[in-house]
Structure 1
């Protein structure tokens, strides 16, 4: 009888769960549930927070919709999720299993996400220099904890996926892999240790630092039955959604992986003997993320991806509403794509960095080369899609990909999947052939990791 691995990704906008059959490594069932968890009425300028309870409710509903007979044969559970963010909770009181299969949260903060922008450049420059090859940016867990408005009533901190692992296993504290720890800042990936002395000297609450365990290792076992999954089922320590998405589709070390969903990332694998530089370069557009088995990925991680296109649609919808014309966002999106498909090229130039970039937070968006002949929606949509690609390829130039021996680009992500214009611009942007069909999927990737390491 088949056994399955349950892979879960707690993303920025949705939760996805998959059941991977261990023998064939094929997906036997999958479901995705939107979290609708964004908190929009915050009084804090540039704050980006999400309702923890809504995220966990979405998780419960998502897993509960998978086939019950297969859930009963789950042999292990793996989790990935949105990196950099931080959630606070109280040990032993972070969840309540009194509702049976559906655990509920209590005594937790809201999730402060990777998109949080409250830590200004001046504030970040006031922090001590980390002993790490990775710099610290706003939205990173340690920077958020340093922020003066930090909530001091909690005893444990972690990413949202770390919190779910703690709930499932009934852990008193939090365990964290180097993939998530590196995304917080002040973590040395060579020694796999927090910068304890540096943080202590700066007055950081050290008791909030999670215990680190290897990427791919176990965090514990389920402390209760959950949707038919028996108590005592092994649970992997949570991994980064980016690393898991790459794992799901990088079939050869010569693959470059482009993912455009909410944000955008372009990456390739570094040689096995690569060691990152000892000091961070805050102005560098390329970072080195810890992967598996002490290896690294070279990553251009842009804050501007599908979210830019969504903002454009929302802006047009708001303008139309002011003119007493209403269209749904999905209908408007389809019409924009149709207009752009009829406009094969455009001399309009759109720099879409409306959210800045971590290596250059003050670089905002621009529209240039405007003329009377290129103001149509077709021109603007085409130029915006090309601008998203121009931005990510400026962060990781074609020469860098060639030097690394990248032989093809594996392109995936929700924005690419639904936008033919964006796919056309992807194929224009690279010298290497572009392949689709191997969709980067963090939920599948984390299940594959556990399957491969069984």
Structure 2
């Protein structure tokens, strides 16, 4: 069904650290308005030192604030809503009790009610030993800590009474769609289901036999729809958006970010934000093999229209550089010299730009990797000549890029017909030393400025419906 020319499409991305909303003009696909807000939703985890949890109430409050900052007359014209968000994570709620709708400043919004915390993709409570004790999935994606089903297994073993409080679950974006559409049981796209584990993308079904044999609470598993399908319609007016607007099934933020920028089959996208990903689209008809080696660095994410993305998804990107800056700020404070993180950030990059070829080498895997969860960061080849701030910073930038190049080397890209790399992401955009290392290590033209945007991608997907 075609959109009326006066209608607008709303794209939403509920990310790890921020929420973004865009209004798209349907004919040109132009972004008319855009708003983003940091969620600041992190909580001290109940899952121990390795746990990563977020406050769902704070996330939804930020989402409502983000929408109300958009022009009121534009929101009234919204007829379709696309939603994406951080993958792998899980939260729980009770049927028909997940939220209540209230009036706030003359606008209708929803607030979470009897909802658990969000256990995010960064969660590390599922140790290697714990994961090895679980059944082997019938899937082309290996199970990792932070995956929804792994987290549910952890609760089943360690806190079964917690699960008894709830009867449905989903990702944070699935929750948003379920609340907007008044769904009793959440719907989940193939993209998000694959990110939970124990899901077969060929049959588009959960591994029910395996899970039931292990007494997994399968009532928490959402019903499945193809990515790009419609989940329902808004049951209430929301922030000025009319009741009855079409809402798409929630999508993965990674797939939507790629969808917003990948225009040629010969392009690869390198995105460095909190983490880092290098990806390209596999040919039509490609099917990944089940039970890949746990040490395999490249995984295959379901994309759109039954196609897959080849993905080297590193857990180490801008977060490593941010940890480096935080460390320097702490050292500076301990020396009695106060300065801002932003000042340190700009100074260390300038120092790195004055250094071309350090002998010092830094392996940046501070957060491990999914294919190597027990790996650690380390420094090697340290000499007196490489002790300056510029040498260390340049070596760290080089290490971040070399790490992702190790996961998906240049020869693999060439064999797949890749001719150009689209460089994007907040960490890459802010760091010229990182850009220089990309251009040094990858023998392809690198194009910047065509930034990936999951909210835009979610809206563009809805334009095709």
Range of TM-score over shorter length: over 0.9
Contact map agreement 2:45 2:53 (CA 8 A) in 1? no
Match among 69, 83, 90 for residue 65 of structure 1: 69
- TM-superposed deviation, 1:119: 0.4
Alignment of 1:125-144 (within 5 A): 125-144=132-151
Give deviations 1:8-36, integer Å, cap 9, x for gaps: 00000000101111011010000110000
Match of 2:91 in 1: 87
Give deviations 1:297-335, integer Å, cap 9, x for gaps: 100000000000011111111111111111111111011
Contact map agreement 2:87 2:253 (CA 8 A) in 1? yes
Match of 1:337 in 2: 349
Q: Which moved more, 1:340-349 or 1:47-56?
A: 340-349
Match of 1:445 in 2: 457
Match of 2:153 in 1: 146
Secondary structure of 1:102's counterpart equals: strand
Secondary structure of 2:88's counterpart equals: coil
Give deviations 1:96-146, integer Å, cap 9, x for gaps: 102352311110111000000000111101111111111100000000000
Rounded to whole Å, the distance in 2 between the matches of 1:29 and 1:171 is 29
Rounded to whole Å, the distance in 2 between the matches of 1:337 and 1:423 is 11
Residues paired across the two proteins, number: 453
Match of 2:288 in 1: 276
CA gap 1:42/1:315 in 2 versus in 1, 3 angstroms: farther
- TM-superposed deviation, 1:41: 6.0
* Residues 1:201 and 2:208 are matched in the alignment: no
* Residues 1:119 and 2:126 are matched in the alignment: yes
CA gap 1:219/1:43 in 2 versus in 1, 3 angstroms: closer
Match among 399, 403, 428 for residue 416 of structure 1: 428
Match among 407, 412, 419 for residue 395 of structure 1: 407
Rounded to whole Å, the distance in 2 between the matches of 1:324 and 1:3 is 57
Alignment of 1:9-408 (within 5 A): 9-40=13-44, 42=46, 44-99=48-103, 100-147=107-154, 148=157, 149=159, 151-152=162-163, 153-408=165-420
Rounded to whole Å, the distance in 2 between the matches of 1:54 and 1:382 is 37
Give deviations 1:170-189, integer Å, cap 9, x for gaps: 11111000000000000000
Rounded to whole Å, the distance in 2 between the matches of 1:106 and 1:243 is 30
Rounded to whole Å, the distance in 1 between the matches of 2:361 and 2:250 is 41
Secondary structure of 1:275's counterpart equals: coil
Match of 2:11 in 1: 7
- TM-superposed deviation, 1:43: 6.5
Give deviations 1:157-216, integer Å, cap 9, x for gaps: 000000000111111111000000000000000000000000000110010000001100
Q: Which moved more, 1:7-16 or 1:273-282?
A: 273-282
RMSD (CA atoms): 1.0
Rounded to whole Å, the distance in 1 between the matches of 2:45 and 2:93 is 22
**TM-score, length basis structure 1:** 0.98
Q: Which runs of 4+ in 1 moved over 3 A?
A: 40-43
Contact map agreement 2:79 2:242 (CA 8 A) in 1? no
Rounded to whole Å, the distance in 2 between the matches of 1:367 and 1:296 is 36
Which ranges in structure 2 are unaligned for 5 or more consecutive residues?
none
- TM-superposed deviation, 1:281: 2.0
Q: Which moved more, 1:36-45 or 1:138-147?
A: 36-45
Contact map agreement 1:158 1:174 (CA 8 A) in 2? yes
Rounded to whole Å, the distance in 2 between the matches of 1:171 and 1:274 is 34
